[in-house]
């Protein structure tokens, strides 16, 4: 639930490019809802991760946990800066909507890469140090 909505947003970005104002607003609202859902599911992910580390045999100093936490904080910072400001710029007069769609698409891919890297560390649990 934290990663999936962003894969749905990718094809929607193509439709957003040439959409009329009413459809554009619907797409942007879907985008906001998807990012909100991912953010709240991230809370569930963090809480369950904390519980699993506390009850499990892993140390907080394990390299894969440290790497996951670092990526998580990076993704939180990125999430806060990547989507909402760009969506707000859609409503500005004279906004270059084609450029904004490209920026949103690029942000989706960057965020997906961050989340998939975090998921890889959680699944594989590599000992880096």
How far apart, in Å, are the Cα atoms of 11 and each of 5, 7, 16, 58, 108?
11, 8, 9, 39, 11
Give 33 or 2, the one with higher predicted confidence: 33
pLDDT tens digits along 48-100:
989 999 998 889 999 999 999 999 888 888 877 888 888 888 878 887 888 98
Which pTM value belongs to this model?
0.84
Task: State residue 39's pLDDT score.
Answer: 82
């Amino acid at each position: 639930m934290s990663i999936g909505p962003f894969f749905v947003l990718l094809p929607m970005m193509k439709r957003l490019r040439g959409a009329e104002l009413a459809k554009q607003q619907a797409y942007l609202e879907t985008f906001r809802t998807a990012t909100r859902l991912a953010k709240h599911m991230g809370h569930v992910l963090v809480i369950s991760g904390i519980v699993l580390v506390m009850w499990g045999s892993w140390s907080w100093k394990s390299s894969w946990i440290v790497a996951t936490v670092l990526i998580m904080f990076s993704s939180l910072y990125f999430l806060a800066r990547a989507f909402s400001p760009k969506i707000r710029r859609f409503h500005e007069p004279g906004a270059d909507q084609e450029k904004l769609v490209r920026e949103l698409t690029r942000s989706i891919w960057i965020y997906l890469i961050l989340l998939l890297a975090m998921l890889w560390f959680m699944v594989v649990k590599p000992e880096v140090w």
